[in-house]
Amino acid sequence: MGFRLQRRVTIAPGLTMNISKRGVGFSAGPRGAKASIGPRGTRESLGIPGTGMRYEVRQDRKKAPARQASGGAPRPQVPAPAPPPAATIGFLEKAFKQPYEKKFIGGAQRMLAGDQAGALAEFQASAEMNPGCADAELLAALMSVNLQDYPTAQACLERVISSGAASFPLVLAYMGTDSVSFELALTDEVKAVLHFDIRAAYLTLAEIYQHQGRQKDAVALLQQAIARGLRGPLLVLSLAELYNELEMDDELIAITQGVENQDDVTLATLFYLGQAMTRKGYYESAVMVLKAALARKKDRSEALLLETRYVLALTYEESGKKSLARKQYEQILAKDFAFRDARERADRLAPAAAPSAEA
């Protein structure tokens, strides 16, 4: 069984850049895993494309307490976020920087001004002056993706990863710690949280590989990220989704060992694990995993729960437990009568009518 959770329509490797007076924001990442960098603190998200789901964990800037409903003291004024440091660096201050750093600052300033092509040229120049400048390579890659220059983005990201960089000090220095955070969208609708680190390069490059039809290269890349100690729910889920697509069931089962149903991210991971177990013929194990995924409904996406129940029904049906399969299809129909082919399958599994007395 190779049932897929989502209907996937790839327009381009997923990168969005948001520029405002508060700072710079990015969204980047592979199918089912997007990293966003924004001025309001740390956010992470995960989503399942085509299902309208979104799960989000936020770690925003602290706000002042709200004024009481009546008779309370006036609401304290919350100071506006400071602009990114690069926006306030003048000619004289920049003159004392190293040449590659001047170019990086220039790129950040052009990016803030909305000049993506100019920013790309500055970041590329910075990287050429200092080949070890992973910050410049990473932002050059993000500009290239936004400009749909994927070969350039790929080359930059490969250099970032091969450099062994684990952090990006120039990004933090000239964009500010408050303007750097991650929104991890598992697909379009499920969210979690990371700080800006090397994961952004891995996730974006993995998406480019998949856009090129290089799923096995994307798998190898995510495996490398996990080997580097970057393992986390999002990377596990992204890798599990790829394993499921390629039907690498032993690898999928191994990478998801120990996953518990804690949120939509882990629910989706168990969804893929259940499929792998079914394909291997481990029907009892598959049922156990899928039931665990369905055991918690509070704060879970209804759409993802329906998809998981559908796979449970398919597992029962494939293992010959037709009455249990029909029960699951009927539970799906109670929520969504037009869900996939659940009605046709339920009707087909209905017990034959008893012969009439006249017959």
pLDDT at position 81 is: 52
- pLDDT given for residue 264 in this prediction: 87
Mean pLDDT of the chain: 77
**What pLDDT does residue 152 have?**
95
* Token output for 125: 């120049």
User: Which strands form 41-46's sheet, in the order they lie side by side?
Assistant: 55-60, 41-46, 190-194, 182-185
The length of the chain is: 359
Compute the distance between CA of residue 168 and CA of residue 148 in angstroms, rounded to an integer. Answer: 23
Task: List Cα–Cα distances, 291 to 54, 276, 278, 319, in angstroms.
Answer: 22, 15, 13, 16
* Res 15: pLDDT: 43
* Architecture per CATH, 258-351: Alpha Horseshoe (1.25)
Domain spans of the chain, in order of start: 13-61+84-246, 258-351
Residue 345 is encoded by which pair of tokens? Answer: 């399958």
Query: 13-61+84-246 belongs to which CATH class?
Result: mainly alpha
Q: Which two tokens stand for residue 170?
A: 């120039």
Q: 62: burial class by Cβ within 10 Å (0-12, 13-18, 19+)?
A: exposed
258-351 matches 13-61+84-246 in CATH topology = yes
Residue 14 in this model has a pLDDT that exceeds 80:
no
Span of 39-43, 150-154, 321-325 with lowest mean pLDDT: 39-43
Mean pLDDT of 142-161: 90
What's the Cα-to-Cα distance from 152 to each of 130, 147, 237, 327, rounded to whole Å?
18, 10, 27, 52
CA 49 from centroid of its chain's CA atoms:
10
**Can you tell me which residue has the tokens 């697909």?**
187
Mean pLDDT calculated for residue range 282-286: 98
DSSP 8-state assignment for residue 226: I
**Sheet of 14-20, strands arranged across:** 14-20, 23-29, 35-37
Q: Residues 108-117: what's their mean pLDDT?
A: 86
Predicted pLDDT at 232: 82
- Residue 98, by phi and psi: left (phi above 0), alpha (psi -120 to 50) or beta? beta
Statement: residue 306 has pLDDT above 60: yes
| 257, two tokens | 């060992």
How high is the pLDDT of residue 178? 52
Reported as a single tens digit per residue, the pLDDT across 246-278 is 999 999 999 999 999 998 889 999 999 999 999
User: What is the pLDDT confidence band of residue 94, given thresholds at 50, 70 and 90?
Assistant: confident
